[in-house]
A and B are shown apart, each in its own frame.
Chain A
Amino acid sequence: MKKLFSEFIKGVIGENPTFVLVLGLCPTLAVSVSVINGIGMGFAATFVLLGSNVIISMIKNFVPERIRIPCYIVVIATFVTITELFMKAYSPALNRALGIYVPLIVVNCIVLGRSEAYASKQTVRDSLFDGLGMGVGFTLALILISAIREFLGSGTIMGERLIKGFEPAFVMGMPSGALLVIGLLLAFFNLLKGRRA
């Protein structure tokens, strides 16, 4: 039980896909402009991660090594399609907001990265918790980054204007601003880590 919990937690903190593993940057940069989008993308990606990690872990012994990457892609694409259809049916507004980045979860480095590095080598149960942890870690990272970017870049949080007369810095809506935010957050986390040591 303890091991499963540590599998989960490592995805959130120790091996956070965005801040530690440096994966999934392209969608992060594009989607983290507002908190709502960040949450939506995070949930969608988590679902895909869970599904693909579990399935790939189940079939890992049957997939020939020489064509494993295309096979994983097919599995991932299937789950992405399920997610997309689900979203179109039950949350069309979010689907429109996330736009092209929902189908692009197929090329989200995190998903293929975990399939290749973990699910293809570990048990189904471990892979499930790894997927869950990574997904939650990704979602939290997205929320953090988009909170900062949304506040500084358009003066709102979840669409609510917080301070009157605040001049938003448009750079925050651009990928350059996202890179800056991630770099500074990373430095901040390192600082905290250093203090504790």
Chain B
Amino acid sequence: MSLAQFLTIFISAVFIYNVILSRFLGLCSFVAISKETKPALAMSLSVMFVTTMSSIITWLIYRFLLIPFGITYLRTISFILVIATFVQFVEMVIRKVSPSMYRFFGIYLPLITVNCAVLGVAVLNVDMFFVKDKAVAGSFFYSAFQGICVGLGYTLAMLLMSGIRERLELCNVPKCFKDFPLAFIIASIMSLSFLGFGGFPR
């Protein structure tokens, strides 16, 4: 396990291959929940929790269940089921802790299940840290850390977007562009600017 590898994971997951702005995963909640900073932050933390925990659990399942029994082709469906269970759990917690936030999230909370970012990082961990069905050294910790960092990258994009949209609330945006259309255009320009990170060595 090397510090350099952890640093690489951090920088690439948060900036260079940002899950939303470079990989374009998790866009539905990005466009829908980024209007104000508080819900955006709450959603980001929920997503980060789910990505971290599911990175850990899917790693364990892959290593101790799928590989030994030779059923690695079932990884997509088993990963999704793990994630689904987790999101169910998070949903129960949020409902208890903050019913108003729960109502605000609406459909987008259960939709973390199918947030491509979550499944994406689980699959990415397996692709990056297993070679020919054997775990590389430090694989578990790298995977868990990558789960955290992808969550951080998601948070960064959400914070940037909510900062922008909150400021635009005070401006006189043309009516036909208000809310969603402009949010998509902002997402487009942000992702164009993140093209500058293209071509970095992995």
Taken residue by residue from 17 to 40, chain A's Cβ proximity to chain B (1 for < 8 Å, 0 otherwise) reads as 000001111100110000000000
Report B63 CB to chain A, min CB distance, Å: 22
User: Is B37 at the interface (CB under 8 A from chain A)?
Assistant: no
Determine if A25 and B28 form an interchain contact, defined as CB atoms under 8 angstroms apart. Answer: yes
Determine if B81 and A73 form an interchain contact, defined as CB atoms under 8 angstroms apart. Answer: yes
Q: How many A-B residue pairs have CB under 8 A?
A: 114
Report B24 CB to chain A, min CB distance, Å: 4
Q: Which of B80, B92, B178, B185 contacts A180 (CB 8 A)?
A: B185
Interface positions of B from 1 to 42, Cβ below 8 Å from A = 24-28, 31-32
Q: Which residues of B contact A179 (CB under 8 A)?
A: 184-185, 187-188, 191
Report A36 CB to chain B, min CB distance, Å: 21
Residue of A nearest to B91 (CB): A69
Taken together as a complex, chains A and B put the C-alpha atoms of A177 and B24 apart, in Å, by 12
Taken together as a complex, chains A and B put the C-alpha atoms of A121 and B110 apart, in Å, by 15
User: Is A1 at the interface (CB under 8 A from chain B)?
Assistant: no
Contact of A66 with B92 at beta-carbon distance under 8 Å, contacts A73-B84, A112-B110, A176-B192 already known: yes
Taken together as a complex, chains A and B put the C-alpha atoms of A104 and B80 apart, in Å, by 11
Taken together as a complex, chains A and B put the C-alpha atoms of A111 and B31 apart, in Å, by 18
Taken together as a complex, chains A and B put the C-alpha atoms of A186 and B107 apart, in Å, by 21
Taken together as a complex, chains A and B put the C-alpha atoms of A190 and B192 apart, in Å, by 25
With most chain B CB atoms within 10 A of its CB, the pick from A70, A179, A186 is A179
Determine if B88 and A73 form an interchain contact, defined as CB atoms under 8 angstroms apart. Answer: no
Contact of A69 with B27 at beta-carbon distance under 8 Å, contacts A106-B80, A179-B184 already known: no
User: Is B180 at the interface (CB under 8 A from chain A)?
Assistant: yes
Taken together as a complex, chains A and B put the C-alpha atoms of A113 and B98 apart, in Å, by 22
User: Is B60 at the interface (CB under 8 A from chain A)?
Assistant: no
Taken together as a complex, chains A and B put the C-alpha atoms of A92 and B177 apart, in Å, by 41
Taken together as a complex, chains A and B put the C-alpha atoms of A103 and B79 apart, in Å, by 13
Residue of A nearest to B118 (CB): A107
Residue of B nearest to A73 (CB): B84
Q: Which residues of B contact A69 (CB under 8 A)?
A: 84-85, 87-88, 91, 110, 113
Q: Which of B28, B91, B187 contacts A23 (CB 8 A)?
A: B28
Taken together as a complex, chains A and B put the C-alpha atoms of A139 and B193 apart, in Å, by 30
Determine if A183 and B24 form an interchain contact, defined as CB atoms under 8 angstroms apart. Answer: no
Determine if B183 and A107 form an interchain contact, defined as CB atoms under 8 angstroms apart. Answer: no
Taken together as a complex, chains A and B put the C-alpha atoms of A191 and B81 apart, in Å, by 42
Taken together as a complex, chains A and B put the C-alpha atoms of A66 and B92 apart, in Å, by 8
Q: Which residues of B contact A74 (CB under 8 A)?
A: 81
Taken residue by residue from 171 to 197, chain A's Cβ proximity to chain B (1 for < 8 Å, 0 otherwise) reads as 100011101101110111011001000
Determine if B185 and A184 form an interchain contact, defined as CB atoms under 8 angstroms apart. Answer: yes
Residue of B nearest to A192 (CB): B176
Q: Which residues of B contact A68 (CB under 8 A)?
A: 88
Taken together as a complex, chains A and B put the C-alpha atoms of A77 and B87 apart, in Å, by 17
Q: Which residues of B contact A183 (CB under 8 A)?
A: 177, 180-185, 187-188
Q: Please list 15 pairs of residues, one from A and one from B, whose beta carbons are closer than 8 Å in the complex, sorted by A's number.
A: A24-B28, A69-B88, A73-B81, A106-B76, A107-B113, A109-B28, A113-B107, A117-B107, A175-B191, A179-B184, A179-B188, A182-B184, A188-B176, A194-B175, A194-B176
Apart from A26-B25, A108-B114, what are 4 other A-B pairs with CB-CB below 8 Å?
A22-B180, A179-B187, A179-B188, A183-B177
Enumerate chain B interface residues (CB-CB to A < 8 A). Answer: 24-28, 31-32, 76-77, 80-81, 84-85, 87-88, 91-92, 107, 110-111, 113-116, 119, 175-178, 180-185, 187-189, 191-192, 195
